[in-house]
Amino acid sequence: MRATTIHGARDIRVEEVPAPELKKPTDAIIKVTAGCICGSDLWPYRGANPVRPGQTIGHECIGVVEEVGSEVRDFKAGDFVVVPFCHCDNTCPHCRNGAQSVCDNLGFTLSGQSEYARVNQADGSLVSTGGVPADDLIASVLALSDVMPTGWHAAVSAGVKAGDTVVVVGDGAVGLSGVLAAATMGAERIIAMSRHEPRQKVARAFGATDIIASRGEDALAEVRELTDGVGVDAALECVGTDEAMTTAIEVTRPGGGVGFVGAPHGVELSARRLFDKNVGVRGGMAPVRRYLPELLDLVLDRRIDPGLVFDLTLPLEESPAGYTAMDERRAIKVLLQP
Amino acid sequence: MRATTIHGARDIRVEEVPAPELKKPTDAIIKVTAGCICGSDLWPYRGANPVRPGQTIGHECIGVVEEVGSEVRDFKAGDFVVVPFCHCDNTCPHCRNGAQSVCDNLGFTLSGQSEYARVNQADGSLVSTGGVPADDLIASVLALSDVMPTGWHAAVSAGVKAGDTVVVVGDGAVGLSGVLAAATMGAERIIAMSRHEPRQKVARAFGATDIIASRGEDALAEVRELTDGVGVDAALECVGTDEAMTTAIEVTRPGGGVGFVGAPHGVELSARRLFDKNVGVRGGMAPVRRYLPELLDLVLDRRIDPGLVFDLTLPLEESPAGYTAMDERRAIKVLLQP
């Protein structure tokens, strides 16, 4: 099959590789109809994570079931499905507790930017769209495989509720999805931190009421002013750096909550600071399967449009150009068509 | 007045000092009928915190209003009241958000182990008991000035709910109060970590279903076994050390919550570990005033008996002996009678 592979820093290729095959009776093979590039794919692209030269890359996709293992009961060839980037059996104690991203049988999509991908635990992971979605819904359905549920998890983890004032730190596709999540949950005021005009536009479309373009002390001062010196009820940390986490904690009012979904890189949490402010911190990899049914309904009912984060669509063969565009911040998020 | 003072490490005295006076029109003076020694008083006693030689000590008390400032509307001389160790106006934005321990007009009881104490923000802080409580309720009413609401805050912060499995790390008076809080909130299984028989007894009286006497890796293994390898829904960290926090995080199941109320001493939080487990951490100084009305009702209705944490009662003049008893762990918590 044709697949996006990574050979080293800034060395993304599209080449012929063996198509994935069923390995376990609970597996399924998906014919990918749309995949995309994640901000986290830029870590190995930039050389920050080690790679096995030639390995496939990409964990987000939707598509049509091609083949299922002998123990798969709920799906058959031809079903159109959303593929959560993290696979789960949805029956283990952690899944039943809503922590599907720590499932006892956790797996991941490994070739989402390719023609085919394997899903472990097909019955537990996949969610049917009930037929092929309308063309103009494809981007939003694709967003449900990772980015939108991850923004949603940030809002859930921060404890966002109707009427809240919320800050979103990070204007990548996840941060923007966090804005949409907070708005959908009824947050009254949503302050997006962004200094990139195209991202500010999407943030506003998603429900941001205020934009803060400054950083550091200036940003804190602006939030203080916007909230009469009180701070916000909830902050969504969607970057993963120490600076972003510090900003999130500092803008949050005493007793408020920080939700964090950026994989921590050098983040130092001060227990004393959290104690003094009585601010809660919670987050991690999103339990995508947990949120999928609710979010899919919202998309199919056209009540949310998370696909707005895709501002560049390329054929699979041009995958390397997609990485360059995202690396140079010329694109927020790139959709790939096999 | 007669007051407990501290002159340095292990130098506690009872001596004559000037009685507190009204400083602001929102103040009240309380004639203390019962005070007590807090585990946190042992930090300066052991030389871990600097002191001003001769300063009064003690932040927990109940008693009778002696005198009120000109702006105090809701209390008058003769009222029997619970005095939260942290005083608040109960009207500022933080108080309205339930974070009374970060009130804009925060104050503290400074002479709770004495004949008289001053309360700032009397109207916002004090709660009337509706007359002098019965003799056998005094200890439990006194427990409401700090220790019981602090254990309660640990449970609230950890997100304890009916049916939960809970671990309480720390068998001091706060940890024991945490057991009682979790039981009152309907936790089904409560695992108390304690290796002191008198404390184990109180823990069981408060609702602990299991006791773990080991520590470190052994304790983790025991919790794993008790929970079929899953971990607990909520952990209450009631010590403030790095070991206690690590234990609390490790015993908590993916997606669960840790509530911490021990003032952090050398605690290092790993954002990566929290992220990988999707475990939330929340805590701080208890907003005592927020919980007081509910807890006072429970005490006056004799539905909870938090006063069981007091296992030694001494006259105020013997305050130094009370410190020794708590320091040597011969007493869980000491009640002082002026």
CATH code of residue B10: 3.90.180.10
User: What is the chain A residue with the closest CA to B282?
Assistant: A280
Name the domain boundary from B283, B298, B328: B283
> Quick check: A228 and B264 CB within 8 A?
no
Burial-class residue A158 by CB neighbours within 10 Å (0-12, 13-18, 19+). buried
Backbone torsions φ then ψ of B256, nearest 5 degrees: -80, -175
Show the domain range for B21: 2-146+287-337
Same structural domain, B97 and B195: no
Please state the length of chain B.
338
Check if A7 contacts B (Cβ < 8 Å): no
Per-residue pLDDT of chain A (338 residues; tens, 9 = 90+): 999 999 999 999 999 999 999 999 999 999 999 999 999 999 999 998 889 999 999 999 999 999 999 999 999 999 999 999 999 999 999 999 999 999 999 999 999 999 999 999 999 999 999 999 999 999 999 999 999 999 999 999 999 999 999 999 999 999 999 999 999 999 999 999 999 999 999 999 999 999 999 988 999 999 999 999 999 999 999 999 999 999 999 999 999 999 999 889 889 899 999 999 999 999 999 999 999 999 999 999 999 999 999 999 999 999 999 999 999 999 999 999 99
Count of structural domains, chain B: 2
B158 in contact with chain A, both atoms CB, cutoff 8 A: no
Residue B124: is its pLDDT beyond 90? Answer: yes
For B132-166, how does the pLDDT look when each residue is reduced to its tens digit (9 = 90+)? 999 999 999 999 999 999 999 999 999 999 999 99
Instruction: Report pLDDT for B261.
Output: 97
Instruction: For residue A33, give how far its alpha carbon lies from the nearest alpha carbon of chain B (Å).
Output: 31
Q: What is the pLDDT of residue A323?
A: 98
Distances (CA, A) of B29 to B19, B34, B84: 9, 14, 14
Question: Are B257 and A282 within 8 A, CB to CB?
Answer: yes
Whether the pLDDT of residue B265 is over 90: the answer is no
Task: Tell me, yes or no, whether A35 and A141 share the same domain.
Answer: yes
Residue B161 sits at the chain A interface (C-beta within 8 Å):
no
CB contact under 8 A, A283 and B275: yes
Task: Give the model's pLDDT for residue B53.
Answer: 96
Instruction: Based on the fold, state whether residues B279 and B158 are members of the same structural domain.
Output: yes
Q: How far apart are CA B33 and CA B115, in angstroms?
A: 8
Do B36 and B136 lie in one domain? The reply is: yes
Q: Do both A135 and A249 map to the same domain?
A: no
CATH, residue A178? 3.40.50.720
For chain A, positions 193-232, list CB contacts with chain B under 8 A: 228, 230
Same-domain status, B17 and B137: yes
- B295 shares a domain with B221: no
Q: Report the half-sphere exposure of A143 (CA within 13 A, side-chain side).
A: 31
> Is there a single domain that holds both residue B306 and residue B180?
no
Pair (A178, A293) in one structural domain? no
Q: Which residues of B touch A224 (CB under 8 A)?
A: none
> What b-and-e string marks burial along A259-279, b requiring 16 or more CB atoms within 10 Å of the CB?
bbbbbbeebebbbeebbbbbb
Check pLDDT > 90 for residue B48.
Answer: no
| CB-CB under 8 Å, B228 with A254 | no
Answer yes or no: do B123 and B6 share one domain. Answer: yes
Q: Which of B99, B275, B281 sits opposite A254 (nearest CB)?
A: B99
ipTM summary value: 0.95
Q: Do A99 and B278 touch (CB under 8 A)?
A: yes
Q: In B, which residues are within 8 Å of A233 by CB distance?
A: 97
Which of B260, B283, B306 delimits the end of a domain? Answer: B283
- Average pLDDT for chain B: 97
Residue of chain B whose alpha carbon sits nearest to that of A262: B275
On whether both B82 and B137 belong to a single domain, the answer is: yes
Same-domain pairing of A141 and A69: yes
Residue B266: pLDDT over 90: no
CB within 8 Å: B267 and A271:
yes
| Sign of the CA dihedral with B27 first, then B33, B37, and B38 last | negative
The answer to whether B253 faces chain A, any CB pair under 8 Å, is yes
pLDDT at B49: 86
**pLDDT tens-digit readout, B52-73:** 999 999 999 999 999 999 999 9
Residue A59 region, left (φ>0) first, then alpha (ψ -120 to 50), else beta?
alpha
pLDDT at A99: 98
Partners of B328 in the beta sheet? none
Summarize chain B as % helix, strand, coil (round to 5): 35, 25, 35
pLDDT above 90: residue B287: yes
